A = this chain, B = another copy of it.
Amino acid sequence: MANFGLSDLRLVAPKEGWPRTGAYRKGAYAAAAGATYLLEQAKVYESTRAAIEDLTFVYAATARGRGQMKPVVLPAQAMPETAQRFIHGEKHGVLFGPERTGLDNDDVALADAILTFPVNPAYASLNLAQAVLLTGYEWFRAAHGDIPPFDVEMRSPPATREMTLAFFDFLENELDQRGFFRPLTKKPVMARNLRNMFHRMTLTEQDVRTLWGLVVRLVEGPRRDPKKQSRKKTAEPTSSQ
């Protein structure tokens, strides 16, 4: 629930009571992985009917039909509708049943629609946590947009086209001098293919500098930087190698 921005947890007649005590309490808090406010805000009701009285639309999450003629919808259809109605002040709810037994038919009868999941029919049963997770996931996508919590990490600004094209010119000139483009009639198509390969990298400024340096090294052979070598010598006396 916390992963996907849901907070209105309602419990119907919890078997072990609520709030939990002793070992039950410890287990519930450990499982909440930090989202303990959900446990503290949870509301307890004596009946399902009492729990949903203020809602305008109720889904019953179930993995199988119940012989009750109700629309059957998937979370990816239901949650966009719920998010849309939420904006207009409506409150929708989703009923989930106990882990072992699921919702009983009287609970399903209280709902407007059946919420189910697209699954492999040979292994159709999701556990309670999985069903809540998928519902929350689709709620979040619908209500908050399908946006990653972080983006590509750019170590450097994207290269301008001018910079990229200057590198291509440099590279192709070096390759030309070394007879890379053979037969010469194929040069235009070979060059175009090369440029497309590099474009697929969506190069940053730093990428272009790195590639330029790489080509220089391949062309010129081992680096001979007299300034750097002399500086090294003054800093630390080593065997020149």
Residues of chain A at the chain B interface (Cβ within 8 Å): 2-5, 33-35, 63-74, 76, 116-127, 130, 133-134, 137, 140-141, 144-155, 204
- Bound-complex Cα distance A206 to B176 (A): 82
A120 touches B4 (CB 8 A): yes
- Bound-complex Cα distance A2 to B150 (A): 30
- Bound-complex Cα distance A151 to B118 (A): 11
Chain copies in the assembly? 2
20 A-B residue pairs with CB within 8 Å: A3-B119, A3-B123, A4-B120, A67-B153, A69-B152, A69-B153, A69-B204, A74-B146, A76-B141, A116-B150, A117-B148, A117-B149, A118-B145, A118-B146, A118-B148, A119-B140, A121-B149, A133-B133, A133-B134, A134-B137
A152 touches B72 (CB 8 A): yes
Residues of chain B within 8 A (CB-CB) of A144 are 118, 120
Other 12 A-B pairs with CB < 8 A, given A3-B130, A4-B119: A3-B119, A3-B126, A35-B123, A66-B153, A68-B153, A74-B148, A116-B149, A116-B150, A118-B145, A118-B147, A118-B149, A120-B140
Residues of chain B within 8 A (CB-CB) of A118 are 137, 140-141, 144-149
- Bound-complex Cα distance A72 to B146 (A): 13
Residues of chain B within 8 A (CB-CB) of A34 are 123
Chain B: minimal CB distance from A115 (Å): 9
What residue in chain B is nearest A138 (Cβ atoms)?
B137
- Bound-complex Cα distance A63 to B150 (A): 9
Residues of chain B within 8 A (CB-CB) of A4 are 119-120
Chain B: minimal CB distance from A221 (Å): 29
Known A68-B153, A69-B154, A130-B133; contact A148-B5, beta-carbon cutoff 8 A: no
What residue in chain B is nearest A121 (Cβ atoms)?
B149
B2 touches A123 (CB 8 A): yes
- Bound-complex Cα distance A130 to B152 (A): 23
- Bound-complex Cα distance A63 to B35 (A): 17
- Bound-complex Cα distance A76 to B147 (A): 10
What residue in chain B is nearest A155 (Cβ atoms)?
B69
Chain B: minimal CB distance from A232 (Å): 29
Closest 4 CB pairs of A and B: A2-B123, A5-B120, A65-B150, A65-B153
Chain B: minimal CB distance from A7 (Å): 10
